[in-house]
Amino acid sequence: MSTGPVVILTALNLEYQAVRQRLASAQVHRHERGTRFEVGTVRGTSRRVALGLTSKGNQSAAVIAERAIQEFSPVAVLFVGVAGALWDATRLGDVVVASHVYAYHGGTSEDDGLKARPRVWEAPHGISQLASHLARLNDWADSASCDEDAPQVRFGAIAAGEIVQNSRISAEAKWIRQHYNDALAIEMEAAGVAQAGHLSGAPVAIIRGISDRADGTKNSTDDRSLQPQAAANAAAFAIRLAVELATEQEETAVPRDSRATSAGQPGRHVSNTAHNSTVGIMAGSVSGSSVHMNPASQKSGPIDLIEKLNSFRENLGRHHTEGAVDEDTYREALADLDSAIRSAEKSTPDSPKRAVMMLRRLRGLVSECPALTAELAPLIAAAGDWA
């Protein structure tokens, strides 16, 4: 279970500043490849946020998102900023939280036209549920406007492409509205971030403030005044969500000793008081009906982890042979598995963190094979406990 901060990424400096002003004691954190993040706490709380700038486009967003995931092992990644509305029902200033993201530029050109072949990523269920709960509470907005004018949170699809969409009558605009008519908003980064989260095993939420209608008025004076407010609204909801995600993570992180403690008894001591019951457990010693835990037996070391990872390699190969894992996925999975094993072999202070990141990425790669993802869950936990 991750103990890292919530990562918030933005594409524009305007969006970055809308989030940055809500953080306290922010310190620059430099990635070894030069990417700069700022890590601080949400004002008035102890909840940590790592903030980064991706620049425009899905490709750069994907690279920086994966870099942030590997660097921080975050609770979640939130991509925050502005977007254009595809339909009039979504008001300017409202916040759209993606239920799923379309990479809409996938397609095939045929004699009778361009046929859509999108990739789609759904938002994690837990984040969607929490975001819906916060939207119902409706205590996130900064605006002092009356209820009718206050920004609303809407949930639906977001379309992410590679061009600035600023027309309602162009061929591209008509094609998007024909093939993605359930999308509430359109932008240029969500697909990249969603892909990075999928491959790395990190939960991702896309949060967008509506600043324009993608209808030819994007560069108008009104748009230039609406964009800062839309960015501020998206930042306000994202910060509220980040605080709740970090709080939930802290509340569910049960201390190791307390997990081994039964009611009214010290840690590492389990009494079997149930009649006709069977207990399977690794123990240091047993006296009467009490099992006394050997502290060294509770924590998997790197040697034990390496053995389990090598066993996973055999199962991965078997699933590949049986056709459950395709060739490309198999090669990438082997590379991540080898990286995790090398980290375990080094036993440096950073090794557990690196092993966990590689195993999470591996879990994303084999997500379509439930047997393998189920086998990876305890391995990820063991790599984290090794620290």
Is 240's pLDDT higher than 70? yes
The answer to whether residues 219 and 323 belong to one domain is no
Q: Domain count for the chain, please give it.
A: 2
- The answer to the question of residue 328 being in a domain is yes
Q: Name the percent of the chain lying above pLDDT 90.
A: 42
The answer to whether residues 89 and 197 belong to one domain is yes
pLDDT value for 221:
66
The answer to whether residues 216 and 113 belong to one domain is yes
More confident: 299 or 163? 163
Task: Lowest mean pLDDT of 38-52, 91-105, 172-186, name the range.
Answer: 172-186
What average pLDDT is seen over the chain? 82
Is 134's pLDDT higher than 50? yes
pLDDT value for 117:
81
More confident: 206 or 107? 206
The answer to whether residues 90 and 187 belong to one domain is yes
pLDDT value for 292:
45
- The answer to the question of residue 296 being in a domain is no
- The answer to the question of residue 190 being in a domain is yes
pLDDT value for 147:
65
- The answer to the question of residue 103 being in a domain is yes
- The answer to the question of residue 100 being in a domain is yes
pLDDT value for 135:
95
The answer to whether residues 165 and 236 belong to one domain is yes
Task: Lowest mean pLDDT of 99-113, 273-287, 332-346, 352-366, name the range.
Answer: 273-287
What's the rounded mean pLDDT across residues 93-113?
89
More confident: 253 or 110? 110
The answer to whether residues 127 and 188 belong to one domain is yes
Structure confidence at residue 223 as a pLDDT band (50, 70, 90) = low
Of 220, 236, 252, the domain-final residue? 252
pLDDT value for 113:
79
Is 13's pLDDT higher than 60? yes
The answer to whether residues 151 and 225 belong to one domain is yes
What's the rounded mean pLDDT across residues 316-330?
86
The answer to whether residues 244 and 306 belong to one domain is no
Domain enclosing residue 130, as ranges: 6-252
More confident: 206 or 286? 206
Q: Name the percent of the chain lying above pLDDT 70.
A: 82
pLDDT value for 258:
46
pLDDT value for 143:
58
Structure confidence at residue 79 as a pLDDT band (50, 70, 90) = very high
- The answer to the question of residue 292 being in a domain is no
More confident: 25 or 387? 25
Of 214, 233, 252, the domain-final residue? 252
Of 252, 272, 289, the domain-final residue? 252
The answer to whether residues 173 and 67 belong to one domain is yes
Nearest CA to 102 among 5, 21, 181, 220?
181
End-to-end CA distance of the chain: 12
pLDDT value for 146:
53
Nearest CA to 207 among 187, 223, 225?
187
- The answer to the question of residue 368 being in a domain is yes
The answer to whether residues 199 and 69 belong to one domain is yes
- The answer to the question of residue 279 being in a domain is no
pTM of the entire predicted model = 0.67
What's the rounded mean pLDDT across residues 145-173?
84
Q: Which CATH number fits the domain that encloses residue 65?
A: 3.40.50.1580
pLDDT (tens digit per residue) in 292-317: 444 433 444 566 888 888 888 888 88
Distance between CA 75 and CA 242 in Å, rounded? 9
pLDDT value for 29:
95
What's the rounded mean pLDDT across residues 5-31?
96
The answer to whether residues 201 and 74 belong to one domain is yes
More confident: 385 or 210? 210
The answer to whether residues 116 and 30 belong to one domain is yes
